[in-house]
């Protein structure tokens, strides 16, 4: 399988971007990060990417009349950098169906819940209100509906009796930083394939085992 040429989309601090950069720099993922792209020139993650030797660029959504024009500019910037696979890492813009179709099965996202539970915003608040005993995070292929798409990997964390949004979010974030590189590594190894709208992991990872709390 050809080495992945990655583009990472961020809007803020890019902590999951940092985890991916670190894993790629250590040779844990067979991929080259061609571009970190943000819609915010002030995004903290851009400085970290540049300090790691990664090319960065900004396409501000404020410069475009509508979402379609903005997404077309994003697409051009990614193609100009030679990107063939996209990772969303805290990118806070809704993407149009046209853009998503262009990157179908070549764009993934990480969400801080065990999807399909609690899609969208305020996930930790909603998890606490629902009284769930496990929360976690999910890496999935992107589809037009928010936080849907074939699930690649999940990790669970306990919800403790005295949790609030902040400490639950911090515990889930630790799991995110382990899970996102794992999922991308499986994709880069050619071990993720689609069966309809299911993402299936090929051996040598045990096909019957859940990708739950994966080892480092």
Q: Which residue, of 103, 125, 152, is where some domain finishes?
A: 103
- Catalytic residue, chosen from 111, 140, 177, 193, is 111
**Within this chain, do residues 46 and 131 fall inside the same structural domain, yes or no?**
no
| Lowest model confidence (mean pLDDT) among 37-51, 109-123, 200-214 | 200-214
- Per the annotation, the verdict on 193 as an active-site residue is no
Does the pLDDT of residue 102 top 50, yes or no?
yes
Provide the domain count of the chain: 2
Q: Give the domain extent around 84.
A: 1-103
Q: Which residue, of 103, 120, 155, is where some domain finishes?
A: 103
Q: How does pLDDT run across 104-139, given as a tens digit for each residue?
A: 999 999 999 999 999 999 999 999 999 999 999 999
Q: What is the spatial distance between Cα 135 and Cα 172, in angstroms, rounded to a whole number?
A: 8
Does the pLDDT of residue 12 top 60, yes or no?
yes
Can you give the pTM of this predicted structure? 0.94
**3-state DSSP assignment of residue 195:** strand
**Within this chain, do residues 123 and 167 fall inside the same structural domain, yes or no?**
yes
Q: Which residue, of 103, 121, 154, is where some domain finishes?
A: 103
Q: How does pLDDT run across 54-94, given as a tens digit for each residue?
A: 999 999 999 999 999 999 999 999 999 999 999 999 999 99
Mean pLDDT of 201-215: 60
Q: What is the spatial distance between Cα 12 and Cα 38, in angstroms, rounded to a whole number?
A: 8
């Amino acid at each position: 399988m050809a080495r992945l040429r990655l583009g990472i989309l961020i809007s803020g601090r890019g902590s999951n971007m940092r985890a991916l950069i670190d894993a790629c720099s250590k040779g844990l993922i067979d991929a080259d990060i061609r571009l970190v792209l943000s819609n915010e020139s002030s995004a903290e993650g851009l400085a970290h990417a540049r300090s790691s030797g990664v090319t960065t660029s900004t396409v501000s959504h404020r410069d475009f009349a509508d979402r379609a024009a903005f997404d077309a500019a994003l697409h051009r910037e990614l193609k100009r950098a030679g990107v063939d696979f996209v990772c969303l890492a805290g990118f806070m813009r809704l993407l149009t169906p046209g853009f998503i179709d262009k990157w179908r099965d070549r764009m993934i996202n990480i969400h801080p819940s065990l999807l399909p539970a609690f899609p969208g915003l305020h996930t930790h608040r909603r998890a606490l209100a629902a009284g769930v005993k496990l929360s976690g995070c999910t890496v999935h292929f992107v589809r037009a509906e928010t936080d849907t798409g074939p699930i690649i990997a999940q990790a669970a964390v306990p919800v403790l009796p005295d949790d609030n949004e902040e400490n639950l979010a911090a515990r889930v974030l630790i799991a995110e930083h382990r899970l996102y590189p794992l999922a991308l590594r499986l994709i880069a190894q050619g071990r993720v394939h689609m069966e309809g709208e299911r993402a299936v992991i090929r051996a040598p990872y045990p096909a019957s085992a859940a990708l739950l709390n994966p080892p480092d």
